[in-house]
Copies of this chain bind each other. A is one copy, B any other.
Amino acid sequence: MNNYIESNKERFLEELFSLMRIPSVSSDPDRKDDMRKCADRWVELLLSSGADNATVLPTKGNPVVYGEKMISPELPTVLIYSHYDVMPAAPLELWKTSPFEPVVKDGKIWGRGADDDKGQAMIQAKAFETVVKNGELKCNVKFLFEGEEEIGSPSLEKFCIENKELLKSDIILVSDTGMVAEDVPSITTGLRGLCYWQIEVTGPSHDLHSGIYGGGVANPINELCKMIAQMTNSDGKITVPGFYDDVVNVSYEERKLMSKVPFDENKYMTELNVKALTGEKGYSTTERTTIRPSFDVCGIWGGYTQDGAKTVLPSKAYAKISTRIVPGQDSEKIAKLVADYIKKVAPQYIDVKVEYLHGGESYLCPIDLPAYKAAEAAVEKVFNKKPVPVRRGGSIPIVASFEKILGVKSILLGFGLESDDIHAPNENFQVSMFEKGIKTVVEFYKEFSK
């Protein structure tokens, strides 16, 4: 097995690069052609990796890539889920290499999608290829790669509902998460959910001279700041009434276990270059970023934002705000609670529109599932350490939907590292993790088919 990977690894990287060169940014409406190009490229790659058939299937949004190798209806089926879309590269000026011209440097693959999720999807494709080419595949394999994960998978639920038979499987394998560290291997057992809104505040119907009108007319930026400021309090709690009502509190025992996973606060602060950490009172940084909800303004804009000084009292101000939610919380309910709250606290002298852009539920995986045990054994074999089960702060909303619609649990076996800077400038993926990932998934097939 290792021979096959060793002698083909340059080609594996080249194939990954061919995907990364396609700027499949799902949030950019001008990238529709690139989405299709990336999906078509995946069809070629799945076929050359050993799939019996692979095709692009339409959805109401970007198409999904489906591929399969069905050995026998008697054997269990693994459904591999990933996504071929990526986050926007902005702000471009902060990239040290060009985001869509991948390179290997200092033992890392650099470029948008290197990890999230083209690199990790390629791990799945190349592990599958290795098992097939070695004649060792003993289960059915299906691939489902969507093109809208980074915008909240708006079409995939409907696709799952309409294609239950096609997607029938025993376990779903998802490589879209990370490990604590290369020497602290881990498997993700919990994910946060997400709600994302855009707020538009309108003051006067047109931009005004701040000298002539300043003090007499509400300024939409001043007001937006006040509204955002009052959504959290000095204890780091979200102040929206009812927000925490359904949160399932994590037991003392589980929190104690969590605290044993290595976490170097000084290193964390050094990497982020911050002088201090903050967050919800009564919780550790690990807890704040995994088992507790959070509130972040992801973007804000309004008025004059160019060079120099323009004395304007603007007409409009905007913000993109998001919360991460945790097991127990329902995204639709939170979406409404927050929107209602914003409208309630908005003063009568401004107009406020709240648009719910997307959301998704949190997820929990039991660690006594046979497929989890198989993943655990596979990781231990390659990393020489038993992986720790960890909860993660990110969201893969579709994982909760798979359970609801297809009735199938997912194993979150991912190979990213904190330093990969996914969603940010200079996204990268460690070549060693890419290779270990392929080996681990190969081992997973063996363990799973025992």
Q: Which of A210-218, A249-257, A432-440 contacts its partner?
A: A210-218
Check B424–A312 contact: CB distance below 8 A.
Answer: yes
Query: Closest B-chain residue to A273, C-beta based?
Result: B205
**Copies of this chain, how many?**
2
CA distance A172 to B217 in the complex (A): 32
Neighbouring B residues of A317 by C-beta, 8 Å? 300
Tell me if A209 counts as interface (CB < 8 A to partner B): yes
Check B312–A209 contact: CB distance below 8 A.
Answer: no
Residue among A28, A225, A288, A348 facing the most chain B CB atoms (10 A cut-off): A225
Task: Report which of B225, B236, B279, B312 forms a contact with A224, defined as CB distance below 8 A.
Answer: B225
Q: Which of A388-410 contact B (CB under 8 A)?
A: 392-395
Tell me if A299 counts as interface (CB < 8 A to partner B): yes
With contacts A311-B423, A424-B209 taken as known, whether A217 is within 8 angstroms of B295 at the C-beta atoms is: no
Task: Report which of B213, B347, B349 forms a contact with A289, defined as CB distance below 8 A.
Answer: B213
Q: Which of A4-12, A45-53, A318-326 contacts its partner?
A: A318-326
Tell me if A113 counts as interface (CB < 8 A to partner B): no
Check A94–B425 contact: CB distance below 8 A.
Answer: no
Question: Please, could you name 16 A-B residue pairs with CB atoms under 8 Å apart, sorted by A?
Answer: A87-B310, A94-B207, A198-B309, A203-B274, A204-B274, A206-B426, A210-B298, A212-B289, A214-B289, A215-B324, A216-B277, A221-B319, A277-B349, A298-B312, A298-B313, A299-B314
Tell me if A294 counts as interface (CB < 8 A to partner B): yes
Q: Which of A278-330 contact B (CB under 8 A)?
A: 278-280, 285-286, 288-289, 292-314, 317-320, 322, 324
Query: Closest B-chain residue to A210, C-beta based?
Result: B296
Q: Which of A187-222 contact B (CB under 8 A)?
A: 192, 194, 196, 198, 203-219, 221-222
A321 to chain B: closest CB distance in Å? 9
The residues of A with any CB-CB pair to B shorter than 8 Å are 26-29, 87-88, 90-91, 94, 150-152, 192, 194, 196, 198, 203-219, 221-222, 224-226, 228-230, 232, 236, 272-280, 285-286, 288-289, 292-314, 317-320, 322, 324, 347-351, 357-358, 392-395, 418, 421-426
User: What are the 6 tightest A-B residue pairs by CB atom distance, in nearest-first order?
Assistant: A215-B294, A211-B394, A27-B308, A229-B229, A205-B273, A299-B303
With contacts A215-B280, A292-B215, A349-B277 taken as known, whether A210 is within 8 angstroms of B322 at the C-beta atoms is: yes
CA distance A272 to B204 in the complex (A): 5
